[in-house]
Amino acid sequence: MNLCSVGFLCGLLALGLAGPLADVSVSLQRGACPLFWYEHGGGCYKYVSSRVAWADAELHCMSLDAHLVAIHNLHEMEFVTQLIENFDLTKGGHWIGFSDGHQEGAWMWTDGSPPDFTNWSPTEPNNEYGHEHCAETYDTFQWNDQVCTAALPFVCKARERTDLVMPQKPSRASWITGYSVLIPLETHR
């Protein structure tokens, strides 16, 4: 059965709201990450299907207390590749958090981490026409420098933290519910 023959399911997939499509060699698990985020190596990753410019993608990730994905080794690259493949069957371009917009040829990650791994396609980065300052993964999942105003989907990455996870429900004995706000008894007496 073609999953896209069920219009609603295709709509959910396009919005990035449905889960992974198939069994994968790299496991996508939520772990300690929030809903619709996937854990890998101490980080939480979110696929975003909205097609936006690179700066808007980074701003969106920052609104989620994250950054565009920074990739530091082949294993992480394989994970990001699998995440993208599970949501985008076209395997088109996707923004990652690598840019040399501040100085040509000095590539940096938006999260400030060191540029200790690259996966450039053999002829990249080439700064074609002098305007390609943002990195994307594309069909071969190698990297390409791209014009930053191109509209692409993207992957956000946040450090796995307990404050990203929904808090556990407190016991009834420790909370007063008088208004529309919950007030802990221990802090307000």
Q: What is the pLDDT of residues 25-79, one digit of tens each?
A: 567 899 899 999 999 999 999 999 999 999 999 999 999 999 999 999 999 999 9
Residue 106 has pLDDT above 70, yes or no: yes
Average pLDDT over residues 105-125: 96
* Position with higher pLDDT, 94 vs 31: 94
- Residue 188: per-residue pLDDT: 41
The strand pair at 43-52 and 38-40 is best described as antiparallel
Angle at CA 61, nearest 5°, toward 23 and 97? 80
**3-state class (DSSP) for residue 72:** coil
Residues in the chain: 189
- Residue 185: per-residue pLDDT: 40
Q: Which domains does the chain have, with CATH numbers?
A: 3-184 (3.10.100.10)
Residue 160 has pLDDT above 60, yes or no: yes
DSSP output for 24-41: -SS--B-TTSPTT-EEET
Residue 142 has pLDDT above 70, yes or no: yes
Q: Is the peptide bond before 170 cis (omega within 30 degrees of 0)?
A: no
Q: Which candidate, 98, 102, 101, places its Cα nearest to that of 112? A: 98
d(CA 105, CA 125): 8
- Token pair 């946040």 is found at 158
d(CA 86, CA 107): 28
In this prediction, what percent of the chain has a pLDDT beyond 70?
Answer: 70
Residue 138 buriedness (CB in 10 A; 0-12 / 13-18 / 19+): middle
Average pLDDT over residues 110-118: 96
Average pLDDT over residues 88-109: 95
Q: Give backbone dihedrals phi and psi of 17, rounded to 5 degrees, phi first.
A: -100, -20
Q: What is the CA radius of gyration of the chain?
A: 20
Q: Is the distance from CB of 51 to CB of 60 less than 8 angstroms?
A: no
- Residue 27: per-residue pLDDT: 75
- Residue 107: per-residue pLDDT: 98
Residue 147 has pLDDT above 90, yes or no: yes
- Residue 68: per-residue pLDDT: 98
In this prediction, what percent of the chain has a pLDDT beyond 90?
Answer: 65
